[in-house]
Structure 1
Amino acid sequence: MTSTSRPTTVAAVVPHPIQHFAPLYRAVGEGPVDLRVLFLSRAGLDRYFDRGFGAEMHWRPDITEGYQHEFVADLPLRPEWRQPVAGTRAAGRVWTALDRRGPDCVLVHGYRHVGSLAALAWARRRGVGALMMGDSELLGHRTSRVRAAKRLALPPLLGRVDAFLTVGDNNEDYLAHYGVPRERMFRTPYPTEQAALHKALTDRAAHRAAVRAELGIAPDAVVALCVGKMISRKRPLDVADALRIVARAPRRPDARELVVIMAGDGVLRPALDAAAAGLDGALRVVGFADQERLPRLYAASDLYVHPAQRDPHPLAVKDAVLCGLPVVVSDRVGSIGPTDDVRPGRNARIHPVGDVGALAGILDELRRRPDLLATMALESEKAVPDIDLDASIDGFHRAVAAVRRSERPR
């Protein structure tokens, strides 16, 4: 990647360990990059209460294995980390750690965390290249005051970043909207735990039969999967409402049974359990599914549904595409685009957010059209090389190489 044999050193400043980034950290650390991840919190490694799921959670301990890392601070979970004293102390520790490491480039995840801002300031002061990765998009509602503030603050801030690791079409449109040249964007799809998905897919027929037998679902039923926190922003009750509309419609001879498996937990769980009780088996609420069970649910399904009010770039949708599933999403999902996970008219159907009638119509059509499901599944399979871990690794290396070629003298 450089004119010398010395590997390029990159320091990634990250708020806390995040499970789906671990495969990328491991992979790039094995190549021509010397990567060191600097965490500012142990959040996720230690057990914590997740308000969205309404339960205690913690990631698997191996998410910090297989790559170089250190904990340079121990900030608590948000919103406590916003305390000025804690933030100032963490920023100082970031500078100290970066001075000690002396990397060729720094990588930050977004611009909202105190660690990201401290790392960008350090890179500018030391004349070191800066990379940024995020999933911001323009789909969500923002007040006029927020839009005005962003118009003033973001162009100079983003102008200090040398290369952007973008996750999709909407993310790139967002950056372009705030003045980032597209030649500074390098597509780096969000990584995910794809090895577990591949393992499940190698025995898809067995998982399909086992999951359906466990849940009492007919072998020939059309099964849609919905994964996520059961909170209002995700709009899981739209699925139940759509199923009621489908149930009330006259049953056509070519229509197979439609069943939705809903995996997750949260404040809307009681309402979804009550809805499932009145849907005669069309909705199966299975609760939180861990990393062992979730791949089997994907393998057992025929399509994936995601009706969220807003979701910048949901990993559950990406996992569905990696499993070759057609996807049905609301128009507020940020991974919609011709080169992204959700490709309208190809592997996906899109409905206006909150329009349960449109969602019901799509589901009813797909349960009657095995040929259409098969065509959409094939399109998801075709999308895999554009969004898998190899694509993420390639984008990372191209971004780092571009920064090294254009870096200013220290």
Structure 2
Amino acid sequence: MTSVPRSTTVAVVVSHAIQHFAPLYRALTEHEVDLRVLFLSRSGLERYFDADFGLDVQWKSDVVTGYHHEFIADLPLRPGWRQPDVTRQMVTRTWAALDRLRPACVLVYGYRYAHSLAALAWCRRRGVPALMISDSELLGQRTPAVRAVKRLTLPHLMRSVSAFLTIGDNNEAYLANYGVPATRMFRTPYPTDETALRAVLAHRDKHRTAIRAELGIAPDALVALFAGKMISRKRPLDIADALRILTRTPRGPVDREIIVIMAGDGVLRATLDAVAAELGGALRMVGFADQERLPRLYAASDLYLHPAERDPHPLAVKEAVLCGLPVVVSDRVGSTGPTDDVRPGRNGRVHPVGDVDALARILGELRARPDVLARMAQESEKVIGDIELAASVDGFLRAVAHVRDTARRG
């Protein structure tokens, strides 16, 4: 694995503590990277109300442990971030912290917010290399006006970034579209809490049996899982409609019973509860699943479903693959590609967004073909080495080494 000198200070400027990045920060610190994470807000550390889930959410307390960090401000998250006085504080606090640290390079998360642009401006003024990571892709629909503005502004902005930590094939296609050469891209898959997943997978059969017994699901049933916010953008109702089609279709002699577990909450929950009652057991609503319960649901499942109309790179899809599950997604989910989490024709199937009949056909085939499902699961196992935390650490270190070498030559 690539290494960088301990004297290389890398500053990370980020809005707030994001749980799934904490494992990467800790792993980099263990690799003796002098990482300094600068947070603009304490939001998320305490219990807060998530409007999409429609309930209070509490992250694990260790989200800020195991790595150097500081809160350079305690600003409110959206919508307050659009206010002029908040924007000014973002800029001044970011510049002051970077002037004090004098890092060898700076990582920012995208370009949407003032603190990211302020960090890029600081890097440009001080001649310090800038790194960027984002989940941008070209799959989402954009108005002609938005596309025109991006075409005019983004190539210039991208040239100010020394290296990009890319998360997948669609993300790299987006960057290439705006002029970023492959030599400045370093694959750094989104990290997640793999420790919790591996702890469950070490006793997979036990958790599979326990969850199925708890939910009254037969051991030989084909169980598909959806986990996420029950909002229109995620299109969980497409899964319910596909189940309706399957329940109206007579089962063949080898067709397994198919049951979908839905974990999550949101504005569509009441509608989905009504559909679940109508389907008589084919749809099981289990509510919000925390970091302890969700890995057990992956262990109990045979397949993961994600029919969203736009989702740049959902963590639930990655976690499903890390658990060795085949995945079925819509063509608007950005996790697809020959070297990404979901590899069509191998560990995944892709259907046109909103095409419930196509989704039902895929599910119908998989419940009748356990051999196909087993091969897809084997392919997911092969993908794990490309997307696990070690790959994220390696991509980060290669990007830092690249900008250091480039700075020395320049």
Q: Structure 2 CA distance, aligned partners of 1:155 and 1:4?
A: 29
Q: Structure 2 CA distance, aligned partners of 1:337 and 1:366?
A: 21
Q: Alpha carbons of 1:236 and 1:338: their partners in 2 closer, same or farther (altered >3 Å)?
A: same
> Which residue in 2 is equivalent to 1:150?
150
SS of corresponding position for 2:279: coil
Deviations along 1:122-170, one digit per CA (max 9) or x if unpaired, are 1111111100001100000000000000011111111100000000000
Q: Is the 8 A contact 2:2 2:394 kept in 1?
A: no
Matched, 1:19 2:19: yes
Q: Structure 2 CA distance, aligned partners of 1:36 and 1:315?
A: 24
Q: Structure 1 CA distance, aligned partners of 2:137 and 2:91?
A: 27
- How far did residue 5 of structure 1 move? 5.3
Q: Structure 2 CA distance, aligned partners of 1:233 and 1:393?
A: 31
Structure 2: 5+ residue stretches without partners? none
Pairing of 1:200-279 with structure 2 (within 5 A): 200-279=200-279
Q: Structure 2 CA distance, aligned partners of 1:2 and 1:238?
A: 44
SS of corresponding position for 1:407: helix
SS of corresponding position for 2:81: helix
TM-score of the pair, normalised by structure 1: 0.98
- How far did residue 2 of structure 1 move? 11
Matched, 1:312 2:312: yes
Q: Structure 1 CA distance, aligned partners of 2:105 and 2:149?
A: 29
Deviations along 1:313-367, one digit per CA (max 9) or x if unpaired, are 0000000000000000000000100000000000001100000000001011111
Deviations along 1:241-297, one digit per CA (max 9) or x if unpaired, are 000000001110100100000000000000000000000100001000000100000
Q: Structure 2 CA distance, aligned partners of 1:158 and 1:362?
A: 40
Q: Alpha carbons of 1:139 and 1:174: their partners in 2 closer, same or farther (altered >3 Å)?
A: same
> Which residue in 1 is equivalent to 2:9?
9
> Which residue in 2 is equivalent to 1:178?
178
User: Structure 1: which 4+ aligned runs deviate by more than 4 Å?
Assistant: 1-6
Structure 1: 5+ residue stretches without partners? none
SS of corresponding position for 1:278: helix
Q: Alpha carbons of 1:229 and 1:129: their partners in 2 closer, same or farther (altered >3 Å)?
A: same
SS of corresponding position for 1:349: strand
Q: Structure 1 CA distance, aligned partners of 2:153 and 2:14?
A: 22
Q: Alpha carbons of 1:203 and 1:4: their partners in 2 closer, same or farther (altered >3 Å)?
A: closer
- How far did residue 32 of structure 1 move? 4.0
Amino acid paired to 2:161 = V
Q: Is the 8 A contact 1:127 1:408 kept in 2?
A: no
> Which residue in 2 is equivalent to 1:168?
168
- How far did residue 408 of structure 1 move? 6.5
Amino acid paired to 1:390 = A
SS of corresponding position for 1:270: helix
Q: Structure 2 CA distance, aligned partners of 1:306 and 1:93?
A: 39
- How far did residue 30 of structure 1 move? 1.7
SS of corresponding position for 1:70: strand
Amino acid paired to 2:226 = C
Q: Alpha carbons of 1:341 and 1:362: their partners in 2 closer, same or farther (altered >3 Å)?
A: same
Q: Alpha carbons of 1:146 and 1:5: their partners in 2 closer, same or farther (altered >3 Å)?
A: closer
- How far did residue 77 of structure 1 move? 1.6
Q: Structure 2 CA distance, aligned partners of 1:306 and 1:181?
A: 31
Q: Is the 8 A contact 1:127 1:409 kept in 2?
A: no
> Which residue in 2 is equivalent to 1:87?
87
> Which residue in 2 is equivalent to 1:195?
195
- How far did residue 104 of structure 1 move? 0.3
Q: Structure 2 CA distance, aligned partners of 1:224 and 1:126?
A: 52
SS of corresponding position for 1:281: coil
Q: Structure 1 CA distance, aligned partners of 2:5 and 2:350?
A: 49
Q: Is the 8 A contact 1:8 1:32 kept in 2?
A: no
Matched, 1:406 2:406: yes
Amino acid paired to 1:402 = H
- How far did residue 47 of structure 1 move? 2.1
> Which residue in 2 is equivalent to 1:64?
64
> Which residue in 1 is equivalent to 2:283?
283
Pairing of 1:337-348 with structure 2 (within 5 A): 337-348=337-348
Pairing of 1:44-59 with structure 2 (within 5 A): 44-59=44-59
- How far did residue 224 of structure 1 move? 0.3
SS of corresponding position for 1:49: strand
Q: Structure 2 CA distance, aligned partners of 1:324 and 1:268?
A: 29
Q: Structure 2 CA distance, aligned partners of 1:3 and 1:139?
A: 35
- How far did residue 46 of structure 1 move? 1.9
- How far did residue 407 of structure 1 move? 1.6
> Which residue in 1 is equivalent to 2:134?
134
SS of corresponding position for 2:116: helix
Deviates more, 1:72-81 or 1:234-243: 72-81
Deviations along 1:56-92, one digit per CA (max 9) or x if unpaired, are 2221121000000000111112111110111111210
Q: Is the 8 A contact 2:10 2:105 kept in 1?
A: yes
TM-score of the pair, normalised by structure 2: 0.98
Q: Structure 1 CA distance, aligned partners of 2:409 and 2:199?
A: 47
Deviations along 1:80-110, one digit per CA (max 9) or x if unpaired, are 1110111111210111111111100000011
SS of corresponding position for 1:385: helix
Q: Is the 8 A contact 2:4 2:33 kept in 1?
A: no
Amino acid paired to 1:385 = G
User: What percentage of aligned pairs have identical amino acids?
Assistant: 71
Amino acid paired to 1:235 = R
Q: Structure 2 CA distance, aligned partners of 1:171 and 1:3?
A: 25
Deviations along 1:29-55, one digit per CA (max 9) or x if unpaired, are 122420010000111112222111011
SS of corresponding position for 1:338: coil
> Which residue in 2 is equivalent to 1:295?
295
Amino acid paired to 1:156 = H
Q: How many residues align?
A: 410
Q: Is the 8 A contact 2:137 2:174 kept in 1?
A: yes
Q: CA RMSD in A?
A: 1.5
Amino acid paired to 2:363 = L
